[in-house]
Amino acid sequence: MTTTAQSGSITSYFLEGESPKVLVVDDEAAIRVALVRLLKAEGVTCREAGSGVEALDILEREAVPLVISDLRMPQMDGFTLLKEITRRWKRTGVVVVTASTEVDSAVVCLNEGALDYVVKPFQLEEVLARIRQALEKRSMKVALEQHREELERRVVDLALGNFQSWADMLEERDLYLRGHSLRVSQYAAAIGRELRMGEDTIATITLGSRLHDIGKIGVKEECLHKPGRLTEEEYQDIMQHPVIGARLMGPYLGRWPTALAIIRSHHERLDGKGLPEGLRGDAIPQAVRVVTVADSLDAMTSPRPYRPPLPVERALQELTSCKGKQFDPDAVEAFFRAFPRAGVLPVATPVFEPVPLPAHERE
């Protein structure tokens, strides 16, 4: 939009890069013709619909910035159409046209999100002024919405940086977990590279690995540190951590569903005997299967309250013997390609630094 005065060509009131298009919805052809002629003279492209149903059909096929709609129509009235539009096409503005006896319903429409209303019979000049005003209001709404989304994005980015630190601190205070997630993310990224996964996927795997055990914050301390064998109940308690982690991180990872899947499903097994859902085979995303191998290798080669670390050779044998049952064979083989010499294992714990957030998987 280039002007704030209520004048000038209507086309200049549309958003930058947007084609100036208006959908005119009215069951009376004469009114449609009058409005379309008026708008076309202003350089606006028009679409016409004789009912709400026809209008929705057009909106499903093409982007329309503004709809001018009658209220009383057969099949689907203007009010229902307005509600559908505000629900499904947030950027499409609606101006309702109403008979002078129906001003009350026009006010209800304003509450439902209509930008403005025009009362029939109308003066063409008045209609133009209303449309300009409506488009101006719409561009302010869009700008505000973009600003809100940007802020929300920054808050989430900041929070995810903090959660990575928290996950690291949680492990740092525990002799048996110290540096675990940092090493897991390093192993997992190396496997991902061997599997020729894209950089964004590897970055998402790294983020998910950093946060995969964050749910341990909700597990009883005495279970995590019990020196002897765990009872079934204690084991179930510990194994709640993927569910807790996914619940805690869910609100922040909406744009990275794979990272969330890593947190929730890293204890699933290929043969369906894992937790929490008993997912089997391909039902476990490949990125998760990669992290499971990395996680298990690091768990085996780390000390536990009830045992010293397993020798690396034993841990590697375990990966091989559980290939195809617990572990994805491709991920295991990729691990062996990435670390062909057992002598470099376990890797030194990298220095903590929050990973930059990967590209969004979902908007």
Q: Which residues bind Fe ion (CB under 5 A)?
A: 213, 295
Question: Minimum distance between the CB of residue 172 and Fe ion, rounded to whole angstroms?
Answer: 15
Beta bridge partners of 70: 97
Q: By C-beta, is 116 or 298 nearer to Fe ion?
A: 298
Shortest reach from residue 187's CB to Fe ion, in Å:
11
Q: Of the two residues 210 and 255, which places its CB atom closer to Fe ion in the complex?
A: 210
Q: How far is the CB of 337 from Fe ion (least distance, A)?
A: 22
Q: Which is nearer to Fe ion, 268 or 295 (CB)?
A: 295
Nearer to Fe ion, 25 or 293 (CB): 293
Place of tokens 């009215």: 26
- 73 or 262: whose CB is closer to Fe ion? 262
Q: Do 288 and 246 meet the contact criterion of CB atoms below 8 Å apart? A: no
Minimum CB distance to Fe ion smaller for 69 or for 240: 240
Provide the residue count of the chain. 363
Q: How far is the CB of 327 from Fe ion (least distance, A)?
A: 14
For the CB of residue 178, give the shortest distance to Fe ion in the complex, in Å: 12
What does the alpha-carbon distance between residue 352 and residue 11 come to, in Å, rounded to a whole number?
53
In the complex with Fe ion, the residue whose CB is nearer, 116 or 295, is 295
Closest CA to 92 of 39, 56, 43: 56
CA–CA separation, 79 and 37 (whole Å) = 25
Q: What percentage of the chain's residues is helix, strand, coil (to nearest 5)?
A: 55, 10, 35
63, two tokens:
């982007």
Nearest partner of 117 among 106, 128, 101, judged by Cα: 106
Please report how close the Cβ of residue 264 comes to Fe ion at its closest, in angstroms: 10
Report, in Å, the least distance between residue 295 CB and Fe ion: 4
Strand order in the sheet with 21-25: 45-49, 21-25, 66-70, 93-99, 116-120
Residues 6+ apart with CB under 8 A from 208: 256, 258, 259, 260, 261, 262, 263, 287, 288, 291
Question: Is the Cβ of residue 51 or residue 302 nearer to Fe ion in the bound state?
Answer: 302
**Residue bearing tokens 């990575």:** 164
Q: Which H helix or E strand runs over 240?
A: none
* In the complex, least distance from residue 292 CB atom to Fe ion, rounded to whole angstroms: 9
